Structure 1
Amino acid sequence: MKLKHYILVCITLTLSLSVFAQQGKQKRADTLFNKFSFVKAAKVYRELIQKNYNKDYATRRLADCYAYLRDPKNAARYYKSVVKQDNVPVEYYYSYAQALRGIKKYEESNIWLKRYKDSGGVVNANDFSKDINFITSVFGAKKQYFLDRVRFNSKYSDFGAFEHNGKVYFASARDEGVSIKRVYGWNEQPFLDIYVTDVKSRRNVNHTGKLKGDVNSIYHDGPVTITKNGKHMYFSSNNFQKDIEKKDSKGMTNMKIYRATYRDSTWTDVEDLSINSDNYSTQHAALNKDDSKLYFASDRPGGFGGSDIYVVDINPDGSLGEPKNLGGIINTESAEGFPFINQEDVLFFSSDGHTGLGLLDVFATIKGENDDFVDVVNLGIPINSNKDDFSFTMNPNGITGYFASNRKGGRGDDDIYAYHREPTLHVEGVVNDAINMNPIAGAKITLFDDKGNEIAYMETDENGFYQINIDRNQDYKIVASQEKYIDDYRNFTSKNIQTELVTIDANMLLNPVQDVIKLAELNTIYFDFNRHNIREDAALELDKIVNLMQNDYPEMVIRIESHTDSRGSLTYNDKLSIDRANATYEYLISKGIHPDRITAHEGFGERRLTNGCQDGENCEEEEHQLNRRTQFIVVKME
Structure 2
Amino acid sequence: MRKPMQGKFFWPLCIALILGSPLHMQSQDEAFGAKDEADHYFAKEGYYTAIDLYKKAYSQEKSADDKAALIYMVAESYRMVNDHVQAEVWYRRAIKARHDDPMAYYYLAKSLQAQGRMKEAQEELEKYQEKGGDPSLAAEAESSIELAQEKNEQVTRHEVDNLVMINSEFYDVAPTIVGEEGNTIYFTSSRLGSTGIDEFKRTGESYEDIFRTTRDTKGKWSEPERLPQGVNGYDHEGAAVLTKDGQRMYFTRCDKDDNLGCAIWVSNMVDDKWGEPKQVPLKTKEQEGHTVGHPALTPDGKVMLFASDLPGGQGGKDLWYTVYNDASNSWGSPVNLGSSVNTSGDEMFPHVRNNGNLYFASNGHIGMGGLDIFMAEKTGDNEWGNVSHMGAPINSISDDYGIVYEGDFERGYFSSNRIGGKGKDDIYSFSLPEVVFAFQGVVYDKDGQFPIEGAYVKVAGSDGSSFEALSDANGAFVFDANGEERYINPNVNYAIEVGKVEYLVAKDNISTVGLDDESTTFVKEFFIQSTAVEEIEFPEVQYDLGKYTLRPESKDSLDYLYQTLVDNPTIIIELAAHTDSRGSASANQTLSERRAQSCVDYLASKGIDPARMKAKGYGETKLRISDAEINALPADEREAAHQKNRRTVFKVLSWDYVPN
Q: Same fold (TM over 0.5)?
A: yes
Cα offset, 1:187, TM superposition: 0.2
Match of residue 73, structure 2, among 29, 50, 61: 61
Cα offset, 1:397, TM superposition: 3.4
Cα offset, 1:161, TM superposition: 1.3
Per the alignment, residue 264 of structure 2 pairs with 257
Match of residue 473, structure 1, among 510, 520, 539: 520
Identity, in percent, stands at 26
1:303 is aligned with what amino acid? G
- 1:102 and 2:114 aligned: yes
Asked if structure 2 preserves the Cα contact closer than 8 Å seen for 1:225 and 1:286, the reply is yes
Q: C-alpha distance in 2, partners of 1:190/1:374?
A: 38
User: Map of 1:496-515 to 2, 5 A cutoff?
Assistant: none
Asked if structure 1 preserves the Cα contact closer than 8 Å seen for 2:403 and 2:414, the reply is yes
2:403 is aligned with what amino acid? F
Distance 1:28 1:125, change over 3 A: closer
Per the alignment, residue 313 of structure 2 pairs with 303
User: Map of 1:479-494 to 2, 5 A cutoff?
Assistant: none
- 1:205 and 2:223 aligned: yes
Q: C-alpha distance in 2, partners of 1:62/1:185?
A: 15
Deviates more, 1:194-203 or 1:149-158: 194-203
2:168 is aligned with what amino acid? S
Q: C-alpha distance in 1, partners of 2:508/2:151?
A: 29
Per the alignment, residue 16 of structure 1 pairs with none
Q: C-alpha distance in 1, partners of 2:331/2:272?
A: 26
Cα offset, 1:51, TM superposition: 4.9
Q: C-alpha distance in 2, partners of 1:125/1:286?
A: 34
Cα offset, 1:125, TM superposition: 12
Match of residue 156, structure 1, among 170, 190, 202: 170
Cα offset, 1:92, TM superposition: 4.0
Asked if structure 1 preserves the Cα contact closer than 8 Å seen for 2:213 and 2:222, the reply is no
Instruction: Please identify the structure whose Cα radius of gyration is greater.
Output: 2
Q: C-alpha distance in 1, partners of 2:492/2:376?
A: 30
Per the alignment, residue 538 of structure 1 pairs with none
Cα offset, 1:289, TM superposition: 1.0
Cα offset, 1:469, TM superposition: 2.7
| Secondary structure in 2 matching 1:408 | coil
Asked if structure 2 preserves the Cα contact closer than 8 Å seen for 1:171 and 1:195, the reply is yes
Per the alignment, residue 283 of structure 1 pairs with 293
Asked if structure 2 preserves the Cα contact closer than 8 Å seen for 1:124 and 1:332, the reply is no
1:389 is aligned with what amino acid? D
Asked if structure 2 preserves the Cα contact closer than 8 Å seen for 1:42 and 1:62, the reply is yes
Q: C-alpha distance in 2, partners of 1:430/1:278?
A: 63
2:47 is aligned with what amino acid? F
Per the alignment, residue 236 of structure 1 pairs with 252
User: Map of 1:366-405 to 2, 5 A cutoff?
Assistant: 366-367=377-378, 372-405=383-416
1:160 is aligned with what amino acid? A
2:48 is aligned with what amino acid? V
1:323 is aligned with what amino acid? P
Structure 2: state its 5+ residue gaps. Answer: 1-29, 438-460, 464-490, 497-506, 525-660
Cα offset, 1:362, TM superposition: 1.4
Cα offset, 1:382, TM superposition: 2.3
User: Map of 1:594-633 to 2, 5 A cutoff?
Assistant: none
Cα offset, 1:66, TM superposition: 0.8
Asked if structure 2 preserves the Cα contact closer than 8 Å seen for 1:358 and 1:388, the reply is yes
Distance 1:66 1:105, change over 3 A: same
Distance 1:332 1:96, change over 3 A: farther
Q: C-alpha distance in 2, partners of 1:331/1:184?
A: 30
Q: How many residue pairs align between the two structures?
A: 423
Per the alignment, residue 219 of structure 1 pairs with 235
- 1:175 and 2:192 aligned: yes
Cα offset, 1:330, TM superposition: 2.4
Asked if structure 2 preserves the Cα contact closer than 8 Å seen for 1:60 and 1:78, the reply is yes
| Secondary structure in 1 matching 2:75 | helix
Per the alignment, residue 578 of structure 2 pairs with none
User: Map of 1:330-345 to 2, 5 A cutoff?
Assistant: 330-345=341-356
Per the alignment, residue 635 of structure 1 pairs with none
| Secondary structure in 1 matching 2:251 | strand
Per the alignment, residue 631 of structure 1 pairs with none
Match of residue 80, structure 1, among 82, 92, 98: 92
| Secondary structure in 2 matching 1:409 | coil
Q: C-alpha distance in 1, partners of 2:290/2:521?
A: 54
Distance 1:286 1:117, change over 3 A: farther
Match of residue 424, structure 2, among 405, 413, 421: 413
Cα offset, 1:76, TM superposition: 2.3
Q: C-alpha distance in 1, partners of 2:118/2:309?
A: 29
- 1:42 and 2:51 aligned: yes
Q: Could you list the per-position Cα deviations for residues 100-149 of structure 1 after superposition, in whole angstroms to 9, with x for gaps in the alignment?
A: 22112223434544665684637579934347742333112243221235
Cα offset, 1:414, TM superposition: 1.2
1:402 is aligned with what amino acid? Y
1:143 is aligned with what amino acid? T
Asked if structure 2 preserves the Cα contact closer than 8 Å seen for 1:329 and 1:374, the reply is yes
Asked if structure 2 preserves the Cα contact closer than 8 Å seen for 1:311 and 1:324, the reply is yes
1:41 is aligned with what amino acid? A
Cα offset, 1:233, TM superposition: 0.7
Distance 1:311 1:239, change over 3 A: same
Q: C-alpha distance in 2, partners of 1:48/1:453?
A: 76
Cα offset, 1:191, TM superposition: 0.4
Asked if structure 2 preserves the Cα contact closer than 8 Å seen for 1:449 and 1:476, the reply is no
Per the alignment, residue 483 of structure 1 pairs with none
Q: C-alpha distance in 2, partners of 1:52/1:349?
A: 44
User: Map of 1:506-545 to 2, 5 A cutoff?
Assistant: none
Distance 1:110 1:302, change over 3 A: farther
Asked if structure 1 preserves the Cα contact closer than 8 Å seen for 2:462 and 2:492, the reply is no
Q: C-alpha distance in 2, partners of 1:452/1:353?
A: 52
Deviates more, 1:44-53 or 1:348-357: 44-53
Deviates more, 1:34-43 or 1:47-56: 47-56
Asked if structure 1 preserves the Cα contact closer than 8 Å seen for 2:358 and 2:384, the reply is no
Asked if structure 2 preserves the Cα contact closer than 8 Å seen for 1:148 and 1:420, the reply is no
2:309 is aligned with what amino acid? D
Structure 1: state its 5+ residue gaps. Answer: 1-20, 248-252, 432-444, 457-465, 478-638
Distance 1:84 1:408, change over 3 A: same
Per the alignment, residue 422 of structure 1 pairs with 433
